[in-house]
């Protein structure tokens, strides 16, 4: 009984790390993706080109490689001791920069899906560009992108296990260690249950958001 309790405590400790990666990533990526999307759509070729290249690099390279790069870059570029650079911080930054690129493309797709006639009608009614975007366009964009955002958020839940790349002991890493040490699949099964419950909660939340914005149909 004590062994089971110890295993659960260890897994919960790993779950806490996974939750930190998850929520901090969203706190960085969701807002950061918006200016990247606007930059990608900008008429300024330099700004648009920079955003395009950024998105291309992030989406075209493995997240695992990006985590390693973000962790070792300060040491390679500035000779900053790795002991001064928390692994969890490097993981969160890598995840945030990665998911910001994906969210940027989702935002861009949502904005481009709005019929041009709505902008023209708003201008004819005397709305400024800012008022048109925030009062007319943005509510419709939010509703349209919720399913795509939900898919990315669910993927993020599972991607938190990639933190093992730089030895961050999140839940899946601890489950593997416990499974190997005790020669049992129970910790891995328990981790799978935790992931499923976590993803169910995310899916439920996104479904409620979809219903909340259903009046924009």
Evaluate if residue 10 carries a pLDDT over 90. Answer: no
Q: Which of 50-59, 130-139, 178-187, 201-210 has the highest mean pLDDT?
A: 50-59
Q: Which among 167, 175, 170 is positioned nearest to 7, based on CA atoms? A: 175
Q: What percent of the chain has pLDDT over 70?
A: 97
Q: Give the tens place of pLDDT for each residue, 91-131.
A: 999 999 999 999 999 999 999 988 888 888 888 888 888 88
Q: Per-residue pLDDT averaged across 146-157, rounded?
A: 93
Answer for the pair 146, 140: CB distance below 8 angstroms, yes or no.
no
Q: Give the tens place of pLDDT for each residue, 31-55.
A: 999 999 999 999 999 999 999 999 9
Query: pLDDT band for position 180 (50/70/90)?
Result: confident
pLDDT at 2: 67
The domain locations on the chain are 2-216
Q: Which among 90, 113, 95 is positioned nearest to 37, based on CA atoms? A: 113
Evaluate if residue 215 carries a pLDDT over 60. Answer: no
Question: In this predicted model, which residue has the larger pLDDT, 2 or 217?
Answer: 2
Answer for the pair 127, 135: CB distance below 8 angstroms, yes or no.
yes
Domain 2-216: state its class.
mainly alpha
pLDDT at 17: 92
Answer for the pair 73, 58: CB distance below 8 angstroms, yes or no.
no
Answer for the pair 11, 187: CB distance below 8 angstroms, yes or no.
yes
Q: What dihedral do alpha carbons 13, 15, 19, 25 form, nearest 10°? A: 100
């Amino acid at each position: 009984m004590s062994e089971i309790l110890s295993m659960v405590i260890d897994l919960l400790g790993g779950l806490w790390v996974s939750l930190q990666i998850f929520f901090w990533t969203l706190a960085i990526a969701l807002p950061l993706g918006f200016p990247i999307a606007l930059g990608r759509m900008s008429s300024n070729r330099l700004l648009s080109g920079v955003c395009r290249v950024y998105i291309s690099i992030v989406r075209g390279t493995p997240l695992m490689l990006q985590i390693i790069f973000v962790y070792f870059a300060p040491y390679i570029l500035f000779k900053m001791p790795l002991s001064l650079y928390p692994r969890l911080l490097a993981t969160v930054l890598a995840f945030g920069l990665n998911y910001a690129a994906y969210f940027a493309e989702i935002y861009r797709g949502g904005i481009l899906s709005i019929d041009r006639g709505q902008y023209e009608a708003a201008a004819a009614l005397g709305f400024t560009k800012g008022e048109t975007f925030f009062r007319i366009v943005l509510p419709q964009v939010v509703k349209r992108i919720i399913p795509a955002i939900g898919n990315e958020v669910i993927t993020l839940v599972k991607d938190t296990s990639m933190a093992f790349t730089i030895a961050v002991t999140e839940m899946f890493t601890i489950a593997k260690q416990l499974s190997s040490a005790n020669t049992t699949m129970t910790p891995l099964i328990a981790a799978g249950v935790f992931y499923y419950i976590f993803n169910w909660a995310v899916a439920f939340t996104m479904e409620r958001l979809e219903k909340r914005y259903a009046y924009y149909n």
